[in-house]
Structure 1
Amino acid sequence: MSNENPLLITRHGAVMSISINDAPINRMSFAFIDALEAAVEEAATDSSVRALLFTGEGEANFSVGMDLKEAMREVPARGGWDTVLDQRLRVLARIESMGKPSVATMFGYCLGGGLELPLACHFRLAADTGTQIGLPEMDLGTVPAWGGSVRLTRCIGRDNALDMVLRARRIDGHEALRMGLVRSVHPVAELKAAAMALAQELAEKAPLAVDGVLRCIVGADERTLDEGLREERKAFLHCAASKDQAEGARAFFEKRKPVFTGN
């Protein structure tokens, strides 16, 4: 991987596409994580970015996860595992909670960090053939550490998560769809276009309302019903005072597509 371009960023209107630039295996190097953190922060603070798309270069693999050989060299130099994990968890939490919807493509190997990054996204689409999704850490004598065990359990349930993690079992796109890990499967040649179409659809929604819905739904399992209802009311009242809400109402009565500005 070139340390100068560990990821590629492209803009498609209001969608920022972030692609791992290490084809064909797309390792998540330390340079990649550093660049990813910077890109995610840019997306979070740029009001012109309304949705994110995460993918990998080529059509062979989304990502095999961490480069283990590099980790053996770099972890001590970066202050040990606590410091390394703090950064990774911080980046994934930022993706999940920034208030902008994110879409991930899953094709070929999606292992370790190659699953944990998509798990932090709000939507996941998979290739209908050739996909191998899993957390192989048990076969290495360790456990997932980028939030994989927690987010996977919340996504597919305790029993399915135990089966995948304890057995280091890999699943394909169709099984992932049955479990609810991905929302749809597509031919690999069409996968990125389908993911981009979804990201662009999400980017057209009212930003304040999108942020409100994400705040209500992401982390809902951690709240009581009353806490969740208060969060929903807060989001509604915030939108009610917005220009976008007025635009949505006008567009409804005028039978046209609304144009939201984020105000």
Structure 2
Amino acid sequence: SSTDALGFALDMIRAGRADVVIAGGTEAAVMEFTVGGFMKMKALSTHFNDTPEKASRPFNADRDGFVIGEGAAALILESEEHARARGAHVYCELAGYGSTCDAHHITAPDPSGVGAVKAIEAALKDAGIADKGEIDYINAHGTSTHLNDQMETKAFKVVFGDEQAKKINISSTKSMHGHLLGATGALEAAICALTIEEGFIPPTINYEKPDLDVDVAKGEVPLDLNYTPNVGVKREVRAAISTSLGFGGHNGVLAFRKVQG
């Protein structure tokens, strides 16, 4: 939902309805009711209770569910003219936003990844990024569930092609901060902004065993992309996307671009 809030803020500024918008999200969902509900859905990790710091392991062969996190993030979005006039520190440009809904299942994503593909394509088009080779970093939704990580990898391969997708540094920072639910999109947008400014890509931690032994007959693909395993890397990031692919196939994608000068 905070990804959508940022997308709506972008639309407001473009339409001239506001010069500056503060948008973000907050979530504090670690309580019996919420945890119990996700447990009933079998969405949470249960195999690493003795080593909880290792439980969130996106794109691993032995991933078994997500880990709930809590937190908040807010970003100040403003037109370039407004930012320059007040001498603001500009981290990057929020360049595009795409949103779709799979309408496939009440919780599960469409395994084909079609909704995610359309949202990514829409964000790139909205950002005016015609050359997909400009994308150097993807902050993936990467929940550490079997269905999401499989579907999301498939979507990346469809959008960028297998070879180009392997050149992109991808990471799921949920491996470190957990799934903040409604606040996740804003936090991961902030991470993208800092990644672009600093030229440092955060890793996917707990990455130990690639998920390559998949069921091709069911349409699965090997999880063989560059998930930036365990150690962050220095790299200039010209453009990046952040994917939020929620329950029920609610997909939101933000595209960011480095500001020159």
TM-score > 0.5 by shorter chain: no
Larger Rg: 1
Larger strand percent: 2
TM-score grouping bracket, smaller chain normalisation? under 0.3
The structure showing larger relative contact order (alpha-carbon pairs under 8 Å, at least 6 residues apart) is 2
Greater helix proportion: 1
Q: TM-score of the superposition, structure 1-length normalised? A: 0.28
